[in-house]
Amino acid sequence: MGILDFTAVELAEKIKSKEVSVREAVDAVLEQIDKTEENYNCYVTVDREGAIKKAEEVQKKIDAGEIDGPLAGVPVAIKDNMCTEGLLTTCSSKILGNFIPTFSSEAVLNLEKAGAVIIGKTNMDEFAMGSTTETSAYGVTRNPRNPEHVPGGSSGGSAAAVAANECFYALGSDTGGSIRQPAGYCGVVGMKPTYSTVSRYGLIAYGSSLDQIGPLSKDVRDCATILEVIASHDPKDSTSVKRDDTDFTSALVEDVKGMKIGIPKDYLGEGLDPEVRDAVLKAAEVLKDKGAIIEEFDLGLVEYAIPAYYTIAAAEASSNLERFDGIKYGYRTEEFTDLHNMYKKTRSEGFGPEVKRRIMLGSFVLSSGYYDAYYLKALRVKALIKKAFDDAFAKYDVILGPVAPTTAPKLGESLSDPIKMYLGDIYTISLNLAGLPGICLPCGEDSNGLPIGLQLIGDCFKEKNIIRAAFTYEQSVK
């Protein structure tokens, strides 16, 4: 068993017991990157020198007993939309192709305090807009389980890097499923916590009211451990909540006796690949055997989630992306005649087609005369969706379903039909609209050997329920 076979928590234990040095762990990852990165393109930036330097610093601190956490010394990959001080942060966009932040995002700082070593910045859909990591300005990322297929998105680079052993764990961000869906496609574990649990300070915003940072990992134990480290109340993020229940690893208990699990019938209907459906229902059976009470129910409103989501997310994105104008940082067009010409050319050249599509959509739904008809209506739908989940969680501890209607599509299949791509988000985006936590973990493979993702959804601030259910399932099928 090589170093790369360890989970993050196992590796930290080996480092603590001095069986493995931090430098050895970093070298193992860098060697793996040398071997496979050419095939997968998980990273926009690999920070070899920084990682090696950091490895030595962290090793010293571990030896001195200054750092003693469950992730101390473990190499991590960070999605390229989280600011890292002094390290290129591009959002996989040409417009930020030269952007080096002056500060690090709070989640990254929390990891660094815990002794993490950043290996590099992972590829993503440009500004997190997309479900395949094909909209990156720095090339597509391929699925390590089958390079003919996409890794999912937008945190496709992070999921692929974990699946390819090019890191021990990664951070992603999830605005409509961007952690959970690529986790499902790549066969790793990914979790979006309750909105407000992880600080958004330093996360380059896509849809501010929906964005949330979360872990991508090899197993559920790692996932809970990482979340415990990155969750914090941050006064710099007004939407950050002070929680005293972030001891998520306490929920790593193999016991679901009496747990009430609901399966929305709406998540099993038309459009769902039968192989995915069977695998998910089989997973439910496993939990039932472990003592959970499983019921199917009508959630409702599922068909309204996609239009509401694309209205709200695009509206916020159209405003959030205004700051990329060529004035202060990032790309600026070579030649221009005046200020407005500079704006237009910079943004036309700097943004890719999917980003432009969403900026236009968002600008339209916010424009005078349409605001009420689109944006306000979408906010009302959002409130109704939250209400539907509130009603469901009055009856159930956990909601179970697929993470996506299919397994990973082939490269190039999705972008030609954006609506179809948007529909692929049907099981994930409601959680962002309602602020709910969700975890995705592997529950088998389809006949092509591609992983199938199981999604467990909890009520707001009830991550522990889904961690417990996910851990129990994972242990049962080991």
Which residues between 301 and 320 bind another protein (CB under 8 A)? Answer: 315-316, 318-319
Asked if 218 contacts 144 with a C-beta cutoff of 8 angstroms, the reply is: no
As measured in angstroms, the least distance from the Cβ of 204 to another protein is 4
- Which residue number, 65 or 235, has a Cβ lying nearer to another protein? 235
Stretch that binds another protein, among 48-56, 207-215, 262-270, 278-286 (CB under 8 A): 207-215
Q: Choose which of 125, 174, 237, 266 interacts with another protein (CB under 8 A).
A: 237
Measured N-to-C along each axis, helices 22-40 and 8-16 cross at an angle, to the nearest 10 degrees, of: 150
Q: Which residues partner with 295 through β-bridges?
A: 262
Asked if 150 contacts 409 with a C-beta cutoff of 8 angstroms, the reply is: yes
Structure tokens at 259: 């747990």
> DSSP of 65-93, one letter per residue?
TS---TTTT-EEEEETTB-BTTB---TT-
Q: Choose which of 1, 38, 65, 328 interacts with another protein (CB under 8 A).
A: 328
Which residues between 131 and 170 bind another protein (CB under 8 A)? Answer: none
For 286-391, list the strands marked E by DSSP.
Answer: 293-297
To the query of whether residue 79 is one of the catalytic residues in this protein, the response is yes
Stretch that binds another protein, among 48-56, 114-122, 176-184, 201-209 (CB under 8 A): 201-209
Asked if 91 contacts 126 with a C-beta cutoff of 8 angstroms, the reply is: yes
Question: What is the Cα–Cα distance from 181 to 189, expressed in whole angstroms?
Answer: 10
- Which residue number, 219 or 234, has a Cβ lying nearer to another protein? 234
Active-site annotation holder among 79, 218, 462, 464:
79
- Which residue number, 209 or 475, has a Cβ lying nearer to another protein? 209
Q: Choose which of 146, 333, 363, 406 interacts with another protein (CB under 8 A).
A: 363
Active-site annotation holder among 178, 196, 199, 318:
178
Asked if 332 contacts 342 with a C-beta cutoff of 8 angstroms, the reply is: yes
As measured in angstroms, the least distance from the Cβ of 345 to another protein is 13
Question: What is the Cα–Cα distance from 41 to 376, expressed in whole angstroms?
Answer: 40
Structure tokens at 271: 């459009």
Asked if 467 contacts 190 with a C-beta cutoff of 8 angstroms, the reply is: no
Q: Choose which of 198, 204, 223, 469 interacts with another protein (CB under 8 A).
A: 204
Question: What is the Cα–Cα distance from 467 to 472, expressed in whole angstroms?
Answer: 8
Active-site annotation holder among 92, 93, 154, 199:
154
Would you give the binding string for another protein spanning residues 62-91, x where CB under 8 A is met?
--------------------xx-----x-x
Stretch that binds another protein, among 132-140, 198-206, 403-411, 450-458 (CB under 8 A): 198-206
| Residue 476: closest CA among 446, 451, 454 | 454
SS3 245: coil
| DSSP code for 334 | S
Which residues between 92 and 131 bind another protein (CB under 8 A)? Answer: 96, 99, 101-103, 105
Q: Which residues carry out catalysis?
A: 79, 154, 178
- Which residues make up the interface to another protein (CB under 8 A)? 82-83, 89, 91, 96, 99, 101-103, 105, 200-205, 207-209, 235-239, 315-316, 318-319, 322-325, 327-329, 339-340, 343, 363, 366-368, 371, 375
